[in-house]
Structure 1
Amino acid sequence: MKATHVWHLQLNVKDIVVMSGSRKRPVWIILLVNFVILFLIVAYVYSPTTSAACFIFSSKDCTLTFHKQPPALKVPARELTDGETISQVVISEILRTPPVESNNPKIAFLFLTPGTLPFEALWAKFFQGHEGRFSVYVHASREKPVHKTRYFKGRDIHSESVAWGQISMVDAERRLLAQALLDPDNQQFVLLSESCIPLQNFDYVYNYLMLTNVSFIDCFVDLGPHGSGRYSEHMMPEVEKKDFRKGSQWFALKRQHAIITMADSLYYTKFRYYCKPNMEGRNCYADEHYLPTFFNMIDPGGIANRSVTYVDWSERRWHPKSFKPVDITLEFLKNLTSIDDFIHFTSDSKRVLTGPCTWNGIKRPCYLFARKFYPETLEKLTLLFSNYTTLSV
């Protein structure tokens, strides 16, 4: 039908030219009419989807095509350095590239531990019956772990020593991510410590992470001495003080963000050299600032600004509260699983940040995991596991 219609249009063009000539119209009018008709013919035949003509002539859904166009890069407020330009191009391309779909999407559980995992038996109970839907990677920084369950045997990666508060902590995180990214089926990447335990059952955790398109990176503004007070002007111009953020290191990253973390060298280098203990009278810890600051700058809308791992900082000490066997009751554990508001204790004693935990726009429980638990709590936790992990998405 379209070809026939075009043929008729072509005949009409000839008729118009003959008629115009017979009436001795000015040449410029004849040329203008011919040009307009030629444009209409081309627009109709080729049904463009990249211009306004799409909406006029095409029967296709142009809206979807327009939405798939990559977003324009933000106009920088200043001239970027060469490193920033390179970084912006690479990161933008990764963000605009659709993730490779997997027929068997898995969660990669990344354990960052000094040695043997005291809660390995509890994690084995959590994994049991869900084979093929997860991967395990263990980075042991001090001594080779002794594994007792099949889920952890042979899952140790090449590890290096890790010092608390040093960039080596971030290096270990990146090493775990790199190993896990080798498996294309790994779509979510969860960082856990040796003192972490699961708060929900596997199906709940799997659906919570797989059915949302954000990464759970803790990120907030701390205006106190252990937040913005740790910032160094040596990070200029790439990292300004207004962009400096703080957060827990225990993340859950989608694959796209895990790849970006591997691709980054510019911002990582800034934190490697200018965020460390005892520098210019400051104690800056890269594992608390690098990823929160980095993702706040490059993809603020792609992160949830909270962690899915519970930790109690209410005592406002250098380390969070640790839980002993006497603390472990069914009521205590159920309370942890039902918390649906996050809380950030800043280093400004007068400022506490709170807010609702949302999941795909719906208020949901915040936490899938929790820390820090003493090894002696294993027996009680194992006994109560099936009673406190009862939620479903």
Structure 2
Amino acid sequence: MKSSPAWRLGIKDMQIMPGSRQRGPLRKPTWIIVLVSLVSLFLVFAYVYPPQNSAACYVFSSRGCKGMPRWLPPSPVRELTDEEIAARVVITDILNMPSAIPTTPKIAFLFLTPGALPFEKLWDKFFQGHEGRFSVYVHASKDKPLHFSRYFINREIRSSSVVWGKISMVDAERRLLGHALKDPGNQHFVLLSDSCIPLRDFDFVYNYLMYTNVSFVDCFEDPGPHGSGRYSENMLPEVEKQDFRKGAQWFTMKRQHAVIVMADNLYYSKFRDYCRPGMEKGRNCYSDEHYLPTFFYMLDPVGIANWSVTHVDWSEGKWHPKSYRALDVTYDLMRNITSISDSVHVTSEEKKQVQITPCLWNGNPRPCYLFARKFLPETLDNLIQLFPNYTSI
């Protein structure tokens, strides 16, 4: 045993030591008490105020900050309100309900536009020969469009005024979904703007959307002023800041997801009342960028792809994305857009974080985009000329 040498040494020493002698009074180990107290205080402080930088985190865990939750006690589970329980029961029941898929399911194309549709001729070429596999719905918030394509004639729904950044934008989206859901043949729903164009031929788009296992709803966490900085505590208890998400409004979604969006009033009302421009001390919140990402993140996070299949170029770093002019529209531009296979999100912090994730279709890498915006009306002729080539890339 390791302790035996020490024991024998003690016996030997006792044999050569003189007879018994009086022990002096023990000194109090004051420095040990002080050290233990300081360490205890340090640990208590670290528990109450967990370190945020990686170097400090590794003092407590070899896994860094990600390992902290393993030894911190779990947060208490909040008791849901009656309204939340009722909403979640309905939503869960809808999501678990088996779908009655028709023999020929259709994609509903939902156009949200202030008036004319400058790319109607291009969409006409896209739809030709695929009758019975799609439906068209147009929400024109200002002027009734003059149509050139038979696929768009008499496809307007009851519209209402839409103001950019306000809840009326979400209202228009829900109105389009509501009208499209009346047709049981519509099984997937695509929201498009007046500046959107198709990037692929119809068959590619149809198969990509109809046989996916998710809805393509854009969703990411932005801790900056234009993300979580827009959150209002008035949304509590139903919407917590840790669940607040951001994303582009241009979605595609499966029928069950469209139904739960229409069924929701609880979470919608929180964004209607507490997410609007100039709401608190000059802060702006835009419901069309936050309502659906937050809603799906809370209620069905694995059911969405977390990116939109509608491409837009934010590389200029302005309030609005890049607008494509006629000179921009070339075969190379279209080839570059259709070959993108990673989804990119940039946070709004001063030190912007770039989040890059591969686009996966049913678990397999695929090109990200089926549509693109913002194309100016002057690009129409170039797009029609290039259409048969770039859509088959």
TM-score interval, smaller chain: 0.7 to 0.9
The partner residue of 1:361 within 363, 366, 378 is 363
Residue number in structure 1 paired with 2:155:
155
Residue number in structure 1 paired with 2:201:
201
Say yes or no: does 1:302 pair with 2:339. Answer: no
Of residues 357-366 and 309-318 in structure 1, the stretch that sits farther from structure 2 once superposed is 309-318
User: Equivalent residue of 2:248, what SS?
Assistant: coil
After superposing on structure 2, the runs of 4+ consecutive aligned residues of structure 1 that deviate more than 3 Å are: none
Residue number in structure 2 paired with 1:320:
321
Alpha-carbon distance in structure 2 between the residues aligned to 1:166 and 1:390: 38
1:1-393 maps to which residues of 2 (within 5 A)?
77-280=77-280, 281-348=282-349, 349-391=351-393
Q: Is the 8 Å Cα contact of residues 310 and 371 (structure 1) preserved in structure 2?
A: yes
Residue deviations 1:230-265 (CA, integer Å, cap 9, x gap): 000000000000000000000000000000000000
Kindly provide the amino acid, as one letter, of the partner of residue 159 in structure 2. S
Unaligned runs of 5+ in 1: 1-75
How far did 1:355 drift?
1.0
Alpha-carbon distance in structure 2 between the residues aligned to 1:189 and 1:260: 13
Alpha-carbon distance in structure 2 between the residues aligned to 1:300 and 1:239: 15
Kindly provide the amino acid, as one letter, of the partner of residue 225 in structure 2. P
Alpha-carbon distance in structure 1 between the residues aligned to 2:345 and 2:216: 15
Residue deviations 1:289-327 (CA, integer Å, cap 9, x gap): 000000000000000000000001122221111100110
Residue deviations 1:74-114 (CA, integer Å, cap 9, x gap): xx922111110110110110011011111110000000000
Q: Is the 8 Å Cα contact of residues 215 and 252 (structure 1) preserved in structure 2?
A: yes
Q: Is the 8 Å Cα contact of residues 313 and 345 (structure 1) preserved in structure 2?
A: no
Alpha-carbon distance in structure 2 between the residues aligned to 1:89 and 1:199: 39
Alpha-carbon distance in structure 2 between the residues aligned to 1:98 and 1:332: 42
Q: Is the 8 Å Cα contact of residues 114 and 141 (structure 2) preserved in structure 1?
A: yes
Alpha-carbon distance in structure 2 between the residues aligned to 1:347 and 1:177: 31
Report sequence identity in percent.
Answer: 69
Kindly provide the amino acid, as one letter, of the partner of residue 84 in structure 1. E
User: Equivalent residue of 2:137, what SS?
Assistant: strand
Q: Is the 8 Å Cα contact of residues 314 and 345 (structure 1) preserved in structure 2?
A: no
Alpha-carbon distance in structure 1 between the residues aligned to 2:217 and 2:290: 11
Alpha-carbon distance in structure 1 between the residues aligned to 2:316 and 2:104: 42
Kindly provide the amino acid, as one letter, of the partner of residue 357 in structure 1. C
Q: Is the 8 Å Cα contact of residues 316 and 345 (structure 1) preserved in structure 2?
A: no
Alpha-carbon distance in structure 1 between the residues aligned to 2:291 and 2:318: 21
Alpha-carbon distance in structure 1 between the residues aligned to 2:257 and 2:77: 25
Q: Is the 8 Å Cα contact of residues 342 and 368 (structure 2) preserved in structure 1?
A: yes
Structure having the higher Rg = 2
Residue deviations 1:323-365 (CA, integer Å, cap 9, x gap): 0011000010011111101111221242111110010111000
- Number of residue pairs the alignment of both structures matches: 317
Residue deviations 1:138-170 (CA, integer Å, cap 9, x gap): 000011110011010010000000000000000
User: Equivalent residue of 2:261, what SS?
Assistant: helix
Alpha-carbon distance in structure 2 between the residues aligned to 1:92 and 1:77: 19
Alpha-carbon distance in structure 1 between the residues aligned to 2:82 and 2:362: 37
User: Equivalent residue of 1:270, what SS?
Assistant: helix
User: Equivalent residue of 1:108, what SS?
Assistant: strand
User: Equivalent residue of 2:139, what SS?
Assistant: strand
Unaligned runs of 5+ in 2: 1-75
Alpha-carbon distance in structure 2 between the residues aligned to 1:307 and 1:106: 20
Residue number in structure 1 paired with 2:23:
none
How far did 1:224 drift?
0.7
Alpha-carbon distance in structure 2 between the residues aligned to 1:345 and 1:316: 10
Alpha-carbon distance in structure 2 between the residues aligned to 1:120 and 1:77: 51
Kindly provide the amino acid, as one letter, of the partner of residue 320 in structure 2. H
Q: Is the 8 Å Cα contact of residues 346 and 352 (structure 2) preserved in structure 1?
A: no
Alpha-carbon distance in structure 1 between the residues aligned to 2:320 and 2:347: 14
Alpha-carbon distance in structure 2 between the residues aligned to 1:129 and 1:211: 20
Alpha-carbon distance in structure 1 between the residues aligned to 2:116 and 2:279: 33
How far did 1:133 drift?
0.3
User: Equivalent residue of 1:343, what SS?
Assistant: strand
